[in-house]
C-alpha cells in the first residue's frame, strides 16, 4: 500500500501542479505527502571562480540569505494553502487513516535531498521537464537514477486531477525495467479499476505479455491486452494507445538504454518524457 509520497520542490512554479497529482493519490490511499524544499546555500549563489573581497562577500551572503528566507516563507505559505484546499491534514506523524502532508526544508543540492528522502518513499512525484526553459530534467534524473523508487512524472494540467490511477496502462516488452515497474507498482495495479497491458507482441527480452497477464491474475488483477503494431517511435505509440484505452496514468520501465544515449540520440523513454500529456509512472 502506498503510504509515503515525496514531492521535492525548488520554487520553479511547478510545485502546485505536482502537489495536486500527489494529493489525488494520497486521498485515495490515505497516504502521507512529504514536501521537501531544497533551499540554496548562500555560498552557492556567489560567482564561481571570481575573486570577491571579504566585505563584499559578507554583504552578498547576507543578501542571498535574506532572499532565501523570503522565498522559503512564500513557498511554505503556499504549501499550507494547498494542503488545506486538497483536504490534507498537516502533521509530522501520519496515522494511515487519512491523507496528510508535512513540510521539510533543507539546504544543499537537490540531488542529495532527493536521495535521502526518496529512497524511503513509496513514490516520488516530480514535474515533467520543461525543455524550452531547461527546467526539471535534473530533478527527474535524480529521482529515477538515485533512489530505485517509482517516479510519477506530472505534466502541466489546466485543472488539478480529482482522481489518479483508477485506469492504468502498463507498457510491457519483457525487459528488466518493465518487470521492475510491475513489481514496484503492485499496489497501484491491484487497486485500479482497469489495467490495460500495452505491447507490440514482440517480447525479445523474455517474459511475454501472456506471462504477465497470468502473473497479474495470480495477484487478483484482471488486465486486458492491447497489442499494436509498432512504428519507429514506440514512445509516441504507447502514449497514443494509452489514451485510446482510457487510461488516466501510464506505467513503464524507463531508460533501458542509458539516459545520455536516449537524450542525445532519442529513445522510447525520452519520447514519453518530452511528449506525455498524461501522468506517467516510471521505474529504472
The three cell numbers locating residue 177 = 525495467
Tell me, what's the pLDDT at 265?
34
Tell me, what's the pLDDT at 65?
61
Pair 79, 200 in one domain = no
pTM reported for the whole predicted model: 0.88
Of the three residues 154, 181, 197, the one that is the final residue of a domain is 154
pLDDT tens per residue across span 207-232: 899 999 999 999 999 999 999 988 88
8: part of which helix (H) or strand (E)?
strand 4-9
The three cell numbers locating residue 139 = 530533478
Pair 216, 145 in one domain = no
Distance CA 5, CA 102 (A): 11
pLDDT tens per residue across span 15-59: 899 999 999 999 999 999 999 998 766 555 555 566 667 766 666
Residue-range definition of the domain harbouring residue 189:
167-283
CATH number at residue 262: 3.40.50.620
pLDDT tens per residue across span 130-153: 876 667 889 999 999 999 999 999
Tally Cβ neighbours within 10 Å of residue 46. Answer: 15
Tell me, what's the pLDDT at 266?
44
Give 34's strand partners.
Answer: 6, 102
Tell me, what's the pLDDT at 205?
61
Amino acid at each position: 500500500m502506498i503510504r509515503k509520497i515525496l514531492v521535492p520542490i525548488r520554487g520553479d512554479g511547478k510545485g502546485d501542479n505536482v502537489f495536486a497529482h500527489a494529493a489525488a493519490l494520497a486521498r485515495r490511499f490515505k497516504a502521507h505527502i512529504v514536501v521537501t524544499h531544497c533551499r540554496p546555500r548562500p555560498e552557492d549563489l556567489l560567482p564561481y571562480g571570481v575573486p570577491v573581497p571579504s566585505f563584499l562577500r559578507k554583504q552578498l551572503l547576507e543578501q542571498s540569505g535574506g532572499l532565501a528566507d523570503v522565498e522559503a516563507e512564500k513557498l511554505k505559505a503556499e504549501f499550507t494553502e494547498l494542503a488545506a484546499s486538497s483536504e490534507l491534514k498537516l502533521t509530522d506523524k501520519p496515522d494511515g487513516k487519512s491523507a496528510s502532508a508535512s513540510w521539510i526544508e533543507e539546504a544543499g543540492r537537490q540531488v542529495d535531498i532527493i536521495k535521502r528522502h526518496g529512497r524511503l518513499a513509496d513514490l516520488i512525484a516530480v514535474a515533467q521537464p520543461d525543455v524550452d526553459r531547461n527546467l526539471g530534467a535534473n530533478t527527474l534524473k535524480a529521482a529515477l537514477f538515485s533512489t530505485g523508487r517509482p517516479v510519477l512524472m506530472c505534466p502541466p494540467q489546466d485543472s488539478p486531477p480529482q482522481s489518479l490511477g483508477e485506469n492504468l496502462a502498463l507498457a510491457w516488452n519483457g525487459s528488466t525495467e518493465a518487470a521492475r515497474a510491475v513489481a514496484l507498482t503492485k499496489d497501484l495495479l491491484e487497486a485500479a479499476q482497469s489495467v490495460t497491458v500495452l505491447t507490440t507482441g514482440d517480447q525479445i527480452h523474455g517474459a511475454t505479455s501472456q506471462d504477465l497477464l497470468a502473473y497479474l491474475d495470480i495477484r487478483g488483477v484482471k488486465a486486458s491486452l492491447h497489442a499494436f503494431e509498432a512504428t519507429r517511435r514506440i514512445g509516441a505509440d504507447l502514449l497514443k494507445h494509452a489514451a485510446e484505452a482510457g487510461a488516466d496514468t501510464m506505467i513503464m520501465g524507463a531508460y533501458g538504454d542509458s539516459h545520455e544515449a536516449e537524450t542525445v540520440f532519442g529513445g522510447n523513454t525520452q519520447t514519453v518524457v518530452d511528449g506525455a500529456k498524461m501522468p506517467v509512472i516510471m521505474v529504472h
